[in-house]
Amino acid sequence: MKDLKKASLVSILIAIVLALSVASAVHALALFGSITAVGSPSSIAYDSGKGEIYVVNSYPNTSGYGTVSVISDSNNTVLESITVGGYPIYAAYDSAKGEIFVTNSQDNFISVISDSTHAVVASVTFPFNEAYGSWGIAYDSADGQVFVATQRGTVYVLSDSLNALVETAPLGSNFNSHCIAYDVAKKEMFVTNNGNGTVSVLSVSPITSHPTALGLSSLGLILVVVAVVVVTLCAVALAVRKSARTRSDSKQ
């Protein structure tokens, strides 16, 4: 009988603990406020350095279209509205430089916002037309790289020290790539491909040397060097010919 009472008491205590745990969990997720956005919010990024939230307002024909709203987490109020490109879709926070990178899917560039001035400090243009194409974006905090997925089926690597594209990784023309998640520990990138129902896994290497922006590729540099050499050789040939002609004239 005593054992039965002890078992019942233990069961009651366990039930009370479980009930309190559930009650605490529900309380932790309780809705306690709402912030009126400037436009039509579609995605969001958190700035841990300044305690601010950056809300991307994407959809056309709505108030605040093509802007990013800055919200203070201390008083939950909108501090600023920053104009970016057409149909901005996703944002990533660069904790090392205090910058926010925003993909503009309707335009052919990425907007770079400074969290100290709440202003666009750079625009990174794609080498190919990616209008209606640049979507997902992720930040590599270990190596200072930003990754951008496009509907063309290409992943671009951007250096945050140069604010320039430094590498591309073609996935496939029909991939229609959308979103990116980056595993810092394993240095692996996961890209969702809406076009063929797959997820691409890419191994990422850090930038070990001063990268060259894609605007002037390795092939471009080679062509420049070849052109300089050709011009130099032509100048030398002309100088030699002129010198020979001068000597010939002096003998006569």
Closest C-alpha to 139, from 152, 130, 148 = 148
SS3 115: coil
Query: Is the CATH code 3.30.465.10 the one for domain 41-216?
Result: no
pLDDT one digit per residue (tens) for the chain, 252 residues:
555 455 555 565 555 555 555 444 445 667 777 887 677 888 999 999 999 999 999 876 667 788 999 999 999 999 999 999 988 999 999 999 999 999 998 888 999 999 999 999 999 988 776 655 788 999 999 999 999 998 888 899 999 999 999 998 999 878 888 899 999 999 999 999 988 899 999 998 876 554 455 544 444 444 444 454 455 565 555 665 666 565 555 555
- CB contact at 8 A, 64 and 84: no
Structure tokens at 61: 């024909």
Distance CA 217, CA 128 (A): 13
pLDDT, residue 132, reads 58
Q: Which contacts (CB < 8 Å, 24+ apart) does range 217-223 have?
A: none
Q: Exposure of 71 by Cβ count < 10 A (0-12 exposed, 13-18 middle, 19+ buried)?
A: buried
Question: How far apart are the C-alpha atoms of 13 and 19, rounded to whole Å?
Answer: 10
Domain parsing of the chain, residue ranges: 1-30, 41-216, 217-252
Helix (H) or strand (E) holding 168, with range, is strand 164-170
**Spatial CB neighbours of 120, under 8 Å, sequence gap ≥ 6:** 82, 83, 84, 111, 112, 113
**Structure-token match 């690597």, residue found:** 157
Q: How far apart are CA 137 and CA 101, in angstroms?
A: 8
